Amino acid sequence: MPALTTVEGGSTRHQSELSAIESLSKAIDTGSIDLIAIHDGARPFMTFDLLDACVEAASRFGGGVPGMPPEAPLYQLEDGMARPLSTDALMRVQTPQVFRARPLLEAYRASVESCFKGADTAETMEKFSTVEVAIVPGDERNIKVTFVEDLFRAEELATNWENGRWRR
């Protein structure tokens, strides 16, 4: 198992990701790191099955991101009126987000030059690379614990720990 390294993050998710990716630049340059997975610590219930699917997609296409359909109907405001928005081609994404290391490093360096701060890794890759990003089926257990009500769902998942492949 490789040594654990801690990197100081930034004031935004984007800056924290940039710091982590830059800390790996020598290993990326030598080719000893081929893929990088970025995972949001606010999602404590990621399974290894989900990670494996993202790694497989990134190996094949260049990027792999878990996605889930929108939870509720969406509307677009047009001339003060709400119009239903087709959600057939929409996904809400989760982490882990896995990408080929070299294009990821290049995209984040380009984002600095443009003063861009993406909401997530996939957005930065979409804007600053030509890497194909495959969407793999997300996992409804891979919740983001952000609000107080999320803690109740997290407690339920933790109670049923044996229902997920959380360990290798």
Q: pLDDT tens digits, residue range 80-94?
A: 999 998 888 899 999
Cis, bond preceding 70 (omega within 30 deg of 0)? no
Contact 44, 154 (CB under 8 A): yes
Superfamily of domain 13-158: Spore Coat Polysaccharide Biosynthesis Protein SpsA; Chain A (3.90.550.10)
Task: Band the pLDDT of 2: cuts 50, 70, 90.
Answer: low
Instruction: Give me the residue spans of the domains in the chain.
Output: 13-158
Whether residue 162 is predicted with pLDDT greater than 80 in this model: the reply is no
Q: Which residue has the tokens 């194909």?
A: 132
Tell me how many helices (H) and strands (E) the chain has.
6, 7
- Per-residue pLDDT of 67-77, as tens digits, reads 999 988 899 99
Q: What is residue 117's DSSP assignment?
A: -
Whether residue 27 is predicted with pLDDT greater than 60 in this model: the reply is yes
Whole-model pTM: value is: 0.89
